[in-house]
């Protein structure tokens, strides 16, 4: 079967959607979503048995490989150690507030009992409904249930003799048969399993998000309706609800080889940095083919759980402060402005030792007559086996709010604690006005690509240092970000207005991401990241 060309049915479909009232995420549900802060992504499908990259090994595969993939793997998929109650209890301990399960990845294998295709868990030795049991187990722990769904379907392409690949030409709207299959599957998911709080559409969302909203108007569509950066956290806070999805290691699905996991400290950093910038963290796990989580992933969830047990107040129901951070001190604030949380995130080699006093100067914070301060998790009255009273104190000076505190709580047998300690301040006010930096356009010139940005406001600074960062997105999904940034030289500005930098070496045909950068006396600020491609 060749790719559709005129496709009058898809035109009729598009016109029918245009004639309907516009659908969107409900404002109150987006606020609910922002309050949750921390979700668990579960990437799991039939090829976990091979420990291969999930689904993508089919793109460019030989017909023999593809045939064996679809004919043999379902016959041996039998996760006999699948106990979703264990996953859910661990997630609850880790502080997870919502779960997103891969109901169908790009390979087209359905992880629920569907009437739409034979390629499903129903036709494996296991036979049970993996999504249904997982959703029920998580809901029993008070965790909201969500679905990941791929509009792309490699099995449908293969059956219809279309080369397996991803891209806009494979969107369901261009292929009525695929759209019909996807909509029928989305209808099953949204009508058979109770309340679905979150829907993540990993591909062209048109026609599917509308189906989800029509059947469950209160569901929050994340990818497909809001910004969902992959494997990265934006450099600056974004407006409204957004979500970063990031792996514990380097892979989404289970890979027993060539895998390097992030440390507990690094995963905690992902949580507080994402929340400081106003987003949610969707942290991924990849179960083994037998249904258990790899021990490395379980251990890290438990480390996260201890930190969240102490400091969850600084993560849930919070919004960005006037600055994201002052060096190693990161901020979140209660959305009713009643409290400011300061995450003291020193590198592990410089960790805040138990019994050690530290004094912080918070340049962006001003105390009021009602201000209080303390360390989350401890009462500031007792340092075990000692008469020392670890009372947090503060005083306001011209250079900022000075806070003196002791980390007194014994959290491990050896009294060591490598992870961040969190301070809570109440009834405080911003003490500065940060500048505004914007990323504008990129144009091609005789000497390379000219990047343009703008200083929208100087804030309370007399001068700023401005520059750009850029990186190639070659070989990456449109949402994926993994490469390191290249930074241009800084230039000094003393007033608002535009600025430019010309960079050589961009490769024709490649996509690039770029953003403006400004050095404020307290921290470095970033404009929104944008993408461009050379013709």
pLDDT of 55-88, one tens digit each? 999 999 999 999 999 999 999 999 999 999 999 9
CA distance 377 to 513: 41
The answer for residues whose C-beta is within 8 angstroms of residue 83's C-beta and 6 or more apart is 291
Q: What is the mean pLDDT of residues 332-358?
A: 95
Q: Domain 436-533 class? A: mainly beta
Over 70: is that where the pLDDT of 5 sits?
no
| Residue 398 CB neighbours (<10 A) | 5
Rounded to whole angstroms, how far apart are CA atoms 303 and 309?
10
pLDDT of residue 14: 40
Displacement of CA 495 from its chain's centroid (Å): 35
What are the tens digits of pLDDT across the range 264-304?
999 999 999 999 999 999 999 999 999 999 999 999 999 99
Q: Are 510 and 313 in contact (CB under 8 A)?
A: no
Judged against a pLDDT cut of 70, whether residue 11 lies above it is answered with no
CATH of domain 36-311: 3.20.20.80
Coil vs helix vs strand at 175: coil
Per-residue model confidence (pLDDT) at position 12 = 41
The encoded tokens of residue 384 equal 């075990």
Q: How far apart are CA 325 and CA 24, in angstroms?
A: 33
Q: Is the pLDDT of residue 21 over 60?
A: no
- 459 with 474: CB under 8 angstroms? no
Do 291 and 125 meet the contact criterion of CB atoms below 8 Å apart? Answer: no
Q: Where are the domains of the chain?
A: 36-311, 321-430, 436-533
Chain segment 404-439, per-residue pLDDT in tens: 999 999 999 998 899 999 999 999 999 988 888 999
**Across residues 121-139, what is the average pLDDT?**
98
- pTM, rounded to two decimals: 0.88
């Amino acid at each position: 079967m060749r790719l559709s060309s005129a496709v009058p049915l898809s035109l009729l479909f598009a016109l029918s959607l245009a004639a309907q009232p516009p659908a969107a995420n409900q404002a109150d549900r987006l606020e609910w979503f922002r309050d949750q802060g921390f979700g668990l992504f579960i990437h799991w499908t039939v090829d976990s048995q091979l420990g291969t990259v999930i689904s993508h090994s089919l793109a460019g595969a030989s017909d023999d490989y593809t045939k064996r993939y679809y004919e043999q793997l379902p016959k041996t998929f039998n996760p006999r150690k699948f106990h979703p109650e264990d996953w859910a209890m661990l997630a609850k301990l880790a502080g997870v507030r919502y779960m997103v399960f891969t109901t169908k990845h790009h390979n087209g294998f359905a992880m629920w009992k569907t009437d739409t295709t034979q390629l499903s868990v129903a036709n494996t030795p296991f036979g049970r409904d993996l999504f249904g049991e997982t959703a029920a187990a998580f809901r029993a722990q008070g965790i909201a249930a969500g679905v990941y769904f791929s509009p792309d379907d490699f099995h449908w392409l293969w059956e219809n003799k279309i080369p397996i690949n991803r891209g806009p030409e494979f969107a369901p709207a261009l292929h009525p048969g695929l759209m019909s299959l996807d909509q029928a599957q989305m209808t099953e998911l949204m009508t058979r399993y109770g309340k679905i709080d979150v829907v993540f559409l990993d591909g062209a969302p048109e026609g599917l998000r509308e189906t989800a909203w029509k059947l469950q108007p209160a569901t929050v569509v994340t990818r497909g309706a809001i910004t969902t950066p992959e494997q990265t956290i934006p450099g600056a806070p974004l407006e409204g609800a957004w979500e970063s999805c990031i792996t514990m290691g380097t892979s989404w699905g289970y890979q027993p080889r060539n895998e390097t996991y992030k440390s507990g400290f690094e995963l905690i950093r992902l949580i507080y940095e994402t929340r400081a910038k106003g987003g949610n963290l969707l942290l991924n796990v990849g179960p083994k083919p037998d249904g258990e989580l790899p021990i490395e992933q379980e251990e890290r969830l438990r480390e996260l759980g201890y930190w969240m047990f102490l400091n969850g107040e600084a993560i849930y129901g919070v919004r960005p402060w006037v600055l994201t951070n002052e060096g190693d001190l990161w901020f979140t604030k209660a959305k009713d402005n009643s409290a400011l949380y300061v995450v003291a995130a020193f590198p592990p080699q410089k960790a805040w030792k138990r019994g050690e006093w530290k004094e912080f100067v918070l340049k962006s914070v001003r105390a009021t007559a009602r201000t209080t301060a303390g360390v989350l998790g401890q009462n500031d009255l007792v340092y075990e086996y000692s008469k020392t009273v670890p009372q947090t104190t503060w005083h306001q000076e011209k250079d900022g709010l000075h806070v003196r505190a002791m980390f007194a709580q014994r959290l491990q047998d050896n009294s060591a604690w490598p992870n961040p300690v969190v301070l809570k301040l109440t009834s405080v006010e911003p003490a500065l006005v940060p500048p505004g930096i914007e990323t504008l356009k990129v144009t091609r010139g005789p000497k390379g690509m000219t990047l343009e940005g703008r200083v929208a406001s100087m804030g309370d600074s007399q001068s700023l240092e401005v520059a750009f960062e850029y990186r190639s997105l070659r070989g990456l999904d449109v949402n994926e970000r993994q490469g390191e940034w290249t930074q241009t030289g800084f230039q000094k500005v003393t007033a608002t207005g535009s600025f430019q930098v010309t960079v050589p070496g961009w490769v024709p045909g490649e996509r690039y991401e770029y953003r403006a950068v400004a050095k404020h006396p307290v921290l470095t600020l970033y404009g929104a990241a944008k993408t461009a491609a050379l013709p």
